[in-house]
């Protein structure tokens, strides 16, 4: 599936498109099919997100949305070397999910 | 150390307001991200993996206690309680909000600090020997020249949209502790027949095409220093490549033209600029230099009680000879075994500040090795300093050993990364600390970058590790034989890369080869240079 | 064969001169070298401004084009002309944005014809950004180091 991600313009926080807005949790990400371009243009113009982009993802065996690239998985959870600072969903996926 | 006068302060304050206005225009949608990006970058604000990242300049690495405390306060108030000291003597915060950025810059300006030109295609923060004004082997203190150049390069009207970033390092001794020849311009302040002047090197750099800067001028008289630098920059601004960002650094221009032709063009421009006369008045350098007068050293004991072996080891490893024989410079290691190289918590910063106030004439230095230095510590006070550091987890006795790893943020923080560098540094330092082989190996500089940009100086590591992307998984290339010091050289790749476990094992194998082959007093680097790559290859890949 | 390049006076948004602007287009540097009567030239980023030095007396307008704001060669071109004594109009054209105005001014530009008109208030603020400056440039301002040591 194709999902959208970017950073919040004000806070810089990593966000994921959930169909109506931008969530802090990758699990909320929805498949945008072939609508990525329109959504990105509209959302960026509205300054609800900064430098958003479309990525490939799958639903993994545990039912979690899993970005195809390791970089976006690190973004989804936080630095692997500071697990104390992780996004709350890390508790559900575990850190092996990143690598 | 240098203190701002009303002009310096006004410049920095004006910049804060300018940035506040720019951030406002961005948030209001008057600036697109494309337009805003170079502006925020010139104020050190990046967008990284998890948030905005702010890089604060620490000009030539020098800080007083009050400034270090301010850095701690910022870490707590606006970030998540810590910061990362970098190889370019800066500090980076990883969790910054755009809406806070101008306030942070305002807080910094209150303690004479800023984030000006810590990114972007401009002249970056000027770095210098971290032992400046302290090292026993120093010929001339480089800091006044670095400060003169900081002012000259700040908001330079002609050189703000260069082909690419521009990094300058200044040293003042034969020993090179600032990777001077791996900078766009490296300057060594020298004395010839009693006259002080500057030796210029141009076109060094790391990144994807590492190069060692050739010397372009053996002696520039001090009252022409700025003019000469300006000539170097103008030739680069006019003729540096702009068609390909990977070929835009000055090293490519110098390489393509040849050092002799680049030098000729600089000399022509220099002759022209001499006639225009742009050098600041000579008294200005004297005014700046007065700020760097040596502190009031007092005599004291020159030996110490070595009965505590842990303390004695730390003294042997982490202290450096001082100009005054009752003093040493003491390195605070930000490399605890298994820790994150260069990271310090707000509390650790405050402790370092307190020690500086109490024991080092209110001065600290950020080292390019991602450690912090107390430049002037009385030998009589060393034990007290060490005890306090040790208690705070800052007393690792590992300067210049295999545990003193330089590592860039890598894929844990950096959006350009291919692989994570920090976990690798953690595993290697842990492993050697546990096996107790660190001591046996002696001086061994290991440097890790998470991608070809080489922020972790892997080209200059006795052992270098570069993270690459191998079909979506992390992979690591090993290289040997680099040095950033006066015996500068670029490391060579051993062969095919390794996965994370593999590269940790490979580092161990390489050190085995060294221990088996070394002759009296040889460092790893010396043995490598004597026996060459083959024995290492054989151990790593068989035949 | 006057190339009809360049901006017309009504595209100029900011002008810091009292003389009348040149009322016709500019020619390329190459043409200027051939045409002995051209008094208005346009410099592109790759052009060598020094080629114009023998003819400075006859020039009344030099436009320096910034096709992209990130290409800073035009700043050097401007200073080179001013250092050689050029006293005519020096116009920055193209991708000229608010945040470049003060540096351009310091390099000797005295008129500005941005592709997109700039917000007047933002521009006024930008021109006034630096009360004091560290470097000598083409604007002959008294630099901070001189102020520190005057008296
Ligand atoms: C995390 C954000 C960072 C980004 C996006 C970044 C980006 C880059 C890039 C793109 C280059 C290559 C430039 C070129 O070859 O033209 C580079 C080089 C470099 N960076 Fe970073 N960097 C980051 C962090 C750091 C850190 C944390 C340090 C210090 C530990 C650092 C120090 C350096 C050094 C020393 C170079 C090298 C060399 C050179 O001048 O060629 N950077 N960086
Ligand atoms: S070397 Fe690469 S991964 Fe490491 S900080 Fe620099 S750009 Fe990022």
Q: What is the pLDDT of residues C84-128, one digit of tens each?
A: 999 999 999 999 999 899 999 999 999 999 999 999 998 999 998
Q: How far apart are CA B96 and CA B530, in angstroms?
A: 48
Locate the ligand 2 atom nearest the alpha carbon of residue B414 and give its number.
Answer: 8
What are residue B173's DSSP bridge partners?
none
What are the tokens at B508? Answer: 């161990």
Closest CA to C23 of C36, C47, C37, C4: C4
Angle formed at CA B468 by CA B333 and CA B538, multiple of 5 degrees: 85
Ligand 1 center to B170 CA (angstroms): 19
Q: Do A11 and B49 touch (CB under 8 A)?
A: no
Q: How far apart are CA B275 and CA B231, in angstroms?
A: 12
List the 334-373 stretch of B: residues with Cβ below 8 A of A. 340
What are the tokens at B532? Answer: 């060459």
Q: What is the pLDDT of residue B543?
A: 63
What are the tokens at C61? Answer: 């307008």
Half-sphere exposure in the Cβ direction for B279 (13 Å, CA): 22
User: Structural domain tally of chain A?
Assistant: 1
C-alpha separations of A41 from A1, A4, A25, A37, B29 in Å: 20, 12, 22, 6, 14
What are the tokens at B99? Answer: 């809406």
Query: For residues B371 and C2, which has the higher predicted lDDT (pLDDT)?
Result: B371
Q: What mean pLDDT do residues C36-62 have?
A: 94
Q: What mean pLDDT do residues C55-75 have?
A: 96
Ligand 2 center to B448 CA (angstroms): 9
Closest CA to B406 of B371, B451, B365, B378: B371
Q: What is the pLDDT of residue B132?
A: 96
Each as own residue / partner, the long-range contacts of residues B78-85 (CB below 8 Å, 24 or more positions apart, any chain) are B78/B103, B78/B104, B80/A85, B81/B345, B81/B346, B82/B343, B82/B344, B82/B345, B82/B346, B83/B343, B83/B344, B83/B349, B84/B340, B84/B342, B84/B343, B84/B409, B85/B334, B85/B342, B85/B343, B85/B344, B85/B366, B85/B370, B85/B371, B85/B372
Domain B6-110, CATH: 3.90.480.20
Ligand 2 center to B416 CA (angstroms): 6
Q: What is the pLDDT of residue C151?
A: 67
Chain A residues touching B95 at Cβ < 8 A: 12, 85
Q: How far apart are CA C60 and CA A57, in angstroms?
A: 61
Domain B134-289, CATH: 3.30.413.10
Neighbour tally for B427: CB within 10 Å: 16
Per-residue pLDDT tens digits of chain A, which is 99 residues long: 999 999 999 999 999 999 999 999 999 999 999 999 999 999 999 999 999 999 999 999 989 999 999 999 999 999 999 999 998 877 788 888 888
Q: How far apart are CA B505 and CA B538, in angstroms?
A: 14
Q: What mean pLDDT do residues C44-68 have?
A: 96
Closest CA to B72 of B107, B99, B48: B107
Is the domain covering C14-148 a CATH 3.40.50 domain? Answer: yes
Burial class (CB in 10 A: 0-12, 13-18, 19+), C68: exposed
Estimate the crossing angle of helix B225-239 against helix B259-276, to 10 degrees.
120
Kindly list the domain boundaries of chain B, sorted by start residue: 6-110, 134-289, 309-391, 406-541
Q: How far apart are CA B210 and CA B107, in angstroms?
A: 37
Locate the ligand 2 atom nearest the alpha carbon of residue B410 and give its number.
Answer: 3
Q: How far apart are CA B400 and CA B521, in angstroms?
A: 16
Q: What is the pLDDT of residue B197?
A: 97
Q: What is the pLDDT of residue A99?
A: 84
Q: Do C107 and B35 touch (CB under 8 A)?
A: no
CATH for B406-541 (3.40.1390.10, 3.20.20.100, 3.30.413.10, 1.10.260.40): 3.30.413.10
Query: For residues A92 and C74, which has the higher predicted lDDT (pLDDT)?
Result: C74
The whole-model pTM stands at: 0.94
What are the tokens at A66? Answer: 């899993």
List the 12-31 stretch of A: residues with Cβ below 8 A of B. 12-14
Residue B203 CB–ligand 1 contact under 6 Å: no
- Mutate which of B53, B84, B405, B417 to test ligand 2's pocket (most atoms within 8 Å of Cβ)? B417
Q: How far apart are CA B423 and CA B408, in angstroms?
A: 11
Q: Are B465 and B427 in contact (CB under 8 A)?
A: no
What are residue A54's DSSP bridge partners?
A4
Locate the ligand 2 atom nearest the alpha carbon of residue B418 and give its number.
Answer: 3
Tokens 């810089």, residue located: A12
Neighbour tally for B361: CB within 10 Å: 18
Q: Are B284 and C148 in contact (CB under 8 A)?
A: yes
Query: Which pairing describes strands B185-192 and B195-202: parallel, antiparallel, or unpaired?
Result: antiparallel
Q: Residue C2: which pLDDT band, with cuts at 50, 70 and 90?
A: very low
Ligand 2 center to B139 CA (angstroms): 34
A13 → chain B, closest CA residue: B51
Q: How far apart are CA B131 and CA C78, in angstroms?
A: 41
Q: How far apart are CA B480 and CA B414, in angstroms?
A: 25
Chain C residues touching B161 at Cβ < 8 A: 69-72, 75, 100
Q: Residue C4: which pLDDT band, with cuts at 50, 70 and 90?
A: low
ipTM: 0.96
Query: Which pairing describes strands B215-221 and A50-59: parallel, antiparallel, or unpaired?
Result: unpaired
Chain B residues touching C146 at Cβ < 8 A: 280-281
Q: What is the pLDDT of residue C77?
A: 98
Three-state DSSP string of C20-50: CCCCCCEEEHHHHHHCCCCCEEEECCCCCHH
Q: How far apart are CA A48 and CA B281, in angstroms?
A: 51
Query: B410 to chain A nearest CA, in Å?
Result: 10
Mean pLDDT, 10 residues at a time, over chain B (543 residues)?
94 93 92 90 93 94 97 98 92 96 97 92 94 96 96 95 97 96 98 96 96 98 95 98 96 98 98 92 94 96 95 97 97 97 97 98 96 98 98 95 97 96 97 94 97 96 97 94 97 97 97 97 97 98 83
What are residue B366's DSSP bridge partners?
B372
Asked if A59 is an interface residue toward chain B (Cβ–Cβ < 8 A), one would say no
- Mutate which of B455, B457, B461, B467 to test ligand 1's pocket (most atoms within 8 Å of Cβ)? B455
What are the tokens at B123? Answer: 């002249």
Q: How far apart are CA B83 and CA B120, in angstroms?
A: 21
Q: Are B325 and B302 in contact (CB under 8 A)?
A: yes
Range of the domain at A53: 2-97
Chain B residues touching A78 at Cβ < 8 A: 50
Locate the ligand 1 atom nearest the alpha carbon of residue B457 and give its number.
Answer: 35
Query: C139 to chain B nearest CA, in Å?
Result: 11
């Amino acid at each position: 599936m194709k999902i959208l991600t970017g950073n919040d313009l004000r806070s810089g926080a990593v966000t994921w498109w959930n169909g109506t807005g931008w969530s802090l949790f990758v699990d909320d990400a929805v498949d945008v099919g072939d609508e990525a371009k329109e959504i990105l243009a509209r959302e960026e113009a509205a300054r609800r997100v900064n430098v958003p982009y479309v990525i490939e993802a799958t639903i993994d065996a545990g039912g979690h949305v899993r970005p195809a690239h390791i970089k976006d998985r690190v973004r989804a959870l936080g630095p692997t070397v500071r697990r104390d600072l992780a996004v709350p969903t890390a508790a559900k996926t575990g850190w092996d999910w990143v690598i | 150390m240098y203190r701002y006068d009303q002009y310096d302060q006004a410049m920095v304050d004006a910049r804060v307001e300018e940035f506040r206005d720019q951030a406002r225009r961005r948030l209001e949608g008057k600036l697109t991200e494309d337009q805003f990006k170079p502006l925020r970058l010139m104020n050190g604000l990046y967008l990284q993996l998890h948030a905005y990242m702010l890089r604060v300049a620490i000009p030539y690495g020098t800080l007083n206690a009050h400034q270090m405390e301010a850095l701690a306060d910022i870490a707590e108030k606006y970030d998540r309680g810590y910061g990362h000291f970098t190889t370019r003597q800066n500090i980076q915060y990883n969790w910054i909000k755009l809406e806070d950025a101008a306030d942070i810059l305002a807080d910094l300006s209150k303690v004479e600090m800023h984030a000006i030109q810590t990114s972007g295609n401009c002249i970056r923060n000027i770095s210098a020997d971290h032992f400046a004004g302290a090292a026993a082997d120093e010929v001339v203190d480089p800091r006044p020249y670095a400060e003169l150049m900081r002012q000259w390069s700040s908001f330079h009207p002609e050189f703000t949209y260069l082909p690419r970033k521009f990094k300058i390092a200044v040293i003042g001794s034969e020993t090179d502790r600032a990777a001077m020849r791996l900078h766009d311009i490296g300057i060594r302040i020298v004395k010839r027949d009693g006259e002080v002047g500057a030796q210029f090197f141009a076109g060094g750099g790391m990144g994807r095409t590492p190069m060692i800067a050739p010397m372009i001028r053996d002696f520039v008289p001090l009252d022409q220093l700025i003019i000469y630098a300006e000539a170097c920059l103008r030739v680069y601004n006019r003729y540096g490549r702009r068609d390909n960002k990977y070929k835009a650094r000055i090293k490519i221009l110098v390489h393509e033209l040849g050092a002799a032709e680049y030098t000729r063009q600089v000399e022509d421009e220099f002759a022209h600029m001499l006639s225009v006369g742009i050098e600041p008045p000579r008294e200005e350098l004297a005014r700046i230099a007065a700020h760097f007068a040596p502190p009031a050293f007092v005599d004291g004991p020159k030996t110490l009680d070595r009965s505590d072996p842990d303390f004695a080891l730390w003294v042997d490893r982490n202290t450096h000879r001082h100009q005054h024989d009752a003093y040493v410079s003491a390195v605070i290691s930000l490399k605890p075994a298994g820790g994150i190289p260069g990271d310090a918590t707000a509390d650790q910063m405050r402790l370092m500040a307190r020690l500086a106030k109490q024991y080092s004439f209110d001065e600290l230095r950020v080292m390019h090795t991602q450690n912090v230095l107390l430049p002037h510590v009385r030998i009589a006070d060393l034990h007290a300093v060490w005890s306090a550091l040790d208690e705070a987890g800052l007393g690792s006795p590992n300067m210049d050993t295999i545990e003193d790893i330089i590592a860039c943020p890598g894929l844990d923080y950096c959006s350009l990364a291919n692989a994570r560098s920090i976990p690798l540094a953690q595993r290697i330092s842990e492993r050697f600390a546990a096996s107790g082989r660190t001591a046996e190996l002696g001086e061994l500089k290991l440097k890790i970058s998470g991608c070809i940009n080489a922020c972790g100086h892997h080209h200059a590591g006795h052992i270098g590790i570069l993270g690459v992307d191998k079909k979506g998984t992390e992979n690591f290339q090993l290289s040997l034989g680099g040095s950033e010091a006066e015996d500068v050289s670029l490391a060579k790749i051993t062969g095919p890369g390794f996965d994370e476990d593999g590269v940790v094992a490979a580092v161990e194998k390489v050190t085995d080869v060294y221990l088996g082959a070394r002759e009296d007093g040889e460092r790893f680097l010396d043995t490598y240079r004597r026996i060459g790559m083959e024995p290492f290859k054989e151990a790593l890949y068989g035949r | 064969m006057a190339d009809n390049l360049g901006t017309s006076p009504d595209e100029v948004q900011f002008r810091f001169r009292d003389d009348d602007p040149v009322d016709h287009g500019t020619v390329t540097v190459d043409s200027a070298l051939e045409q002995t009567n051209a008094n208005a030239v346009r410099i592109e980023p790759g052009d060598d401004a020094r080629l114009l030095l023998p003819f400075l007396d006859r020039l009344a307008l030099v436009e320096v084009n910034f096709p992209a704001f990130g290409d800073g060669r035009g700043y050097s071109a401007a200073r080179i002309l001013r250092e050689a004594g050029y006293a005519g109009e020096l116009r920055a054209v193209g991708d000229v944005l608010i945040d470049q105005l003060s540096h351009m001014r310091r390099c000797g530009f005295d008129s500005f014809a941005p592709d997109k008109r700039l917000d007047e208030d933002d521009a006024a603020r930008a021109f006034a950004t630096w009360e004091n400056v560290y470097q000598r440039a083409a604007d002959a301002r008294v630099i901070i180091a001189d102020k520190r040591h005057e008296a």
